[in-house]
Structure 1
Amino acid sequence: MAQDKRALRQHYLRLREAVTTDQRKAWNRALARHLTDFLTELAGRAAAPPTVAGYVAHRGEPDVAEALSAVAQKGWTVVYPKTNKAERTLTFFKANPSDTKAFEPGPFGILEPVAAEDAAVPGEEIDIVIVPGVAFSRDGVRLGYGGGYFDRWFADVNTHAVRVGVAWNLLLADDLPSAAHDVRVHDVVTEAGVVRCRPSR
């Protein structure tokens, strides 16, 4: 299965890298609209403004900054992951999505929040997690980058957060290999709309 995942990861990364700049901008705008609407729909079920975990796009990933800025303006709390490479863990911290000075490169070159360790937001306080990935299947399987950071965080943290994957439509597969420890997403948002996956775990 590891070889299958490695080959699929390379395949989908090549597809992502081949997307033109103009096409990427158009898809980002469309995805931001769908994601903002979907997050707003999810928030309608909450008694208070939710806390949503996002990410800063890296290496051609779908850019969710516009959607995160939109919900921050509604009074939501937005948090981002910091990576501990030695321990292979994630910890989430508040950051203003519109403030570029609030971020700095992490160990993998991905922008992460500038924050003191004692300011971490507990996982049980996070209501929605926007999960990056290389590709997703229509039944919620996520093909990640191979580090297992998000799977480990979901397994270790007491959270009932809604898991929302984001991907271009061309990175949405009918089927992807999945191991027992892989945590599936509940929904995937693309530039074409929302795919409801609703996994059992």
Structure 2
Amino acid sequence: MEDKKIIREKILKIRDGISTDERKKYDEEIFNKVIKSEYYKEAKNIFIFVSYKTEVDTHKIIKKALEDGKTICVPKVISKKDGMYGAKINKFSDLKPGKYGILEPGIENEKVNEQDIDLVLVPGAVFDMQGGRIGYGGGFYDRFLVKLREDVPKIAIAYNVQIIDKVPMDELDVKIDGIIYNG
């Protein structure tokens, strides 16, 4: 079985190659699937990543969820060693570029109790339909997701090019419960 690092590099190269026009079309399709999903409709407290570079655009989802009166929390990275936590945002402009250039909340944003979260929209590089996920190699999400209630849906949002037959999984890897994707 191929090494995770090799698979990640290969799939990210493909994802990076999606044209701007295709990406806009796919992002719109994924946005509509997310907001029409039962996961979204039933969730009051959503933890969602803030998209960066060639990830599926979550900015529109975040803005819509805030409009819909949902509580939105996003990742706030502490450090590679200490991981991240969820911080509540009240408006999209609460987000500012963090140390990796990714938009994140400030330290003034309230830390959310992981037990209050009832939907997580998960980023990643590669996924499979059995719940396998390859992230970006930092282990931030695997360490965060284990703090949630077991009944919380962990749903990846991705482009269809990011889905493969089988992702190699380690014992510390947390499985996802589903994928919302284009196509």
What is the TM-score when the length of structure 2 is the normalising length?
0.92
CA contact (8 A) 1:85 1:107 kept: no
Shift of 1:59: 2.0
Instruction: List 4+ stretches of structure 1 deviating above 6 A.
Output: none
Aligned to 1:123: 114
Aligned to 1:143: 134
* Distance change (3 Å), C-alpha of 1:4 and 1:77: same
- 1:55-105 CA distances to partner (integer Å, 9 max, x unpaired)? 2111200012222322222221011010011533111111145x33x1112
Are residues 1:187 and 2:178 paired? Answer: yes
Aligned to 1:42: 39
CA contact (8 A) 2:80 2:140 kept: no
Q: Partners in 1 of 2:180 and 2:40 — Cα distance?
A: 16
RMSD: 1.8
- 1:161-195 CA distances to partner (integer Å, 9 max, x unpaired)? 21010110111111110011110110100012xxx
What is the TM-score when the length of structure 1 is the normalising length?
0.84
Aligned residues: 182
Aligned to 1:77: 71
Q: Partners in 2 of 1:176 and 1:151 — Cα distance?
A: 15
Match of 1:107, as an amino acid? K
Aligned to 2:96: 104
Any gaps of 5 or more consecutive residues in structure 1?
193-201
Given the alignment, which residue of 51, 55, 59 partners 1:61? 55
CA contact (8 A) 2:117 2:148 kept: no
Aligned to 2:153: 162
